[in-house]
Structure formats: structure tokens, C-alpha cells
Amino acid sequence: MAKKITYFCLLCGMMALALPAWGQKLDSNLVQFSGLVIDGSDDRLIPVPYTNVYIKGKGRGTYSDLKGFFSIVAHKGDVIRFSTIGYKTVEYTIPLDLKEDRYSLVQLMTQDVVNLPETVIFPWPSRDHFRLEFLAMDVTPELQKRAAENLAQETLKKAEAGVRYDGDENADYYLRKQASNYYHYGQMPPMNIFNPIAWGKFFKSWKNGDFKKKE
């Protein structure tokens, strides 16, 4: 009985020594893939923040931070796709012959700006239909008065205050705020106290009585 216990302990010890080597063999293809995403359109080399770093075909990824840095665990041979708004999508394949479990990359992105042609939208199928509807339109003084009241500045301001932003407007506002932050990235933003245009608007509003208390 004592010999069986001794053999069992030796077997467990050998398996415990073999498990780390086996796990290391299974994870030998894992790579800590990190690097920088930079705008390579000119010589300034500005970081490209919030770039999507996606492992193609595996449904997972990450994104670069405000300084363009990213880091993700991948496998050797994985295809990494870099994509963001305003830049061309780039793919990079991690080499299969890596000897280390870490790999760094500086990925250059090229701006991709497309100018779309002007589109004019009409509520009628053609200009001829619009002409017929316009000629048949009722333009009585009562309707003109009602239209003038609806287009008054006070009415438009009340309507603007009561209408909420939709998804596109919220996204546009968020992107414009980000663009404003990027414009002054690395330096202090200008103060309007030294801006003569801002002072001019202030004096004009003061003369118009915009700062008076409204009852």
C-alpha cells in the first residue's frame, strides 16, 4: 500500500512539472501587439486617436487612445485592420516567425477625403410639378400673416428651445467638440478675454439690451 502511494505521488509530481511546459507550448503563438497610429499624410506625424484596431475574422479588437497608442493580445499570423473616419483602412499581418511574445508597430494612416457632388432635394418629382403647385398655391393675406408669425425670430427661438437633437446632430456636436480639442492639442486654448471680436460682440449685446433682466 505504501508503494502505491509513493508511485501515485511521483506520478502527480511529474504531471505538475509537465503542465507548465504544455501550457507554454499552447500559448507560444500569443503576442502582445502594441504600437502607435500616426497620420502619415505630411511631415507633422500627428497621432490619430480612437482608431479601431480589429483582429480580422475573430470578432474582437480595441482602439487607440488620445495619443494614438494601442495594445492588444493577438496570435502570430493574425491580420490586424486599422480603420477610422477620414482615413483609408489599412491591414497588417503579424509575422509568423516571431521569436518573442511582444511586437511593436508604428502604423501610418493616410487621409481619405471624398467630395460628394451637390444634391438638391425637391418635394416634387420635377421642376414642372413644382411650377404647377406653386402657381396653384393659395397666398391669401391670412396665410401670409400666419407664415410671417411662424418665421418670426421669437417664434423660431421658442421652437429651437423645445426641439431636442436627434442622433445625427448629437454625433455631429460630439465630433465638433473633439475637433476643437484636437485643434489646441498640446497647448493652452486661447482666452476670449484677449479676443477683440469677442469684446465687440459683448458691447453689441450690451447695447441691444440682451443682458437686461426679463420679466
Do 202 and 155 lie in one domain? The reply is yes
Instruction: Specify whether the CB–CB gap between 38 and 109 falls below 8 A.
Output: yes
pLDDT at 22: 45
Domain boundary among 114, 142, 161: 114
pLDDT at 21: 47
Beta-ladder partners of 83: 52
Do 132 and 188 lie in one domain? The reply is yes
Is 8 within a domain?
Answer: no
Q: Which residues are CB-neighbours of 74 under 8 A, at least 6 positions away?
A: 30, 31, 33, 55, 80, 94
The percentage of residues in the chain with a pLDDT greater than 70, rounded to a whole number, is 79
Do 109 and 134 lie in one domain? The reply is no
Alpha carbon 77 to its chain's center: 28
Is 10 within a domain?
Answer: no
Q: What is the pTM of this model?
A: 0.44
Is 23 within a domain?
Answer: no
When divided into structural domains, the chain yields a total of 2
> Tens digit of pLDDT for each residue in 185-210?
666 666 666 677 777 887 788 888 77
- In whole angstroms, what is the distance from residue 195 CA to residue 9 CA? 82
> Tens digit of pLDDT for each residue in 51-70?
999 999 988 999 999 899 99
Do 133 and 101 lie in one domain? The reply is no
> Tens digit of pLDDT for each residue in 90-109?
999 999 988 888 999 999 99
> Tens digit of pLDDT for each residue in 204-215?
888 887 777 665
Alpha carbon 195 to its chain's center: 31
Find the domain containing 163 and state its range.
127-208
- In whole angstroms, what is the distance from residue 182 CA to residue 175 CA? 10
Do 138 and 204 lie in one domain? The reply is yes
Cβ burial, residue 138 (10 Å; 0-12/13-18/19+): exposed
- What is the domain-level CATH number for residue 79? 2.60.40.1120
Domain boundary among 48, 80, 114: 114
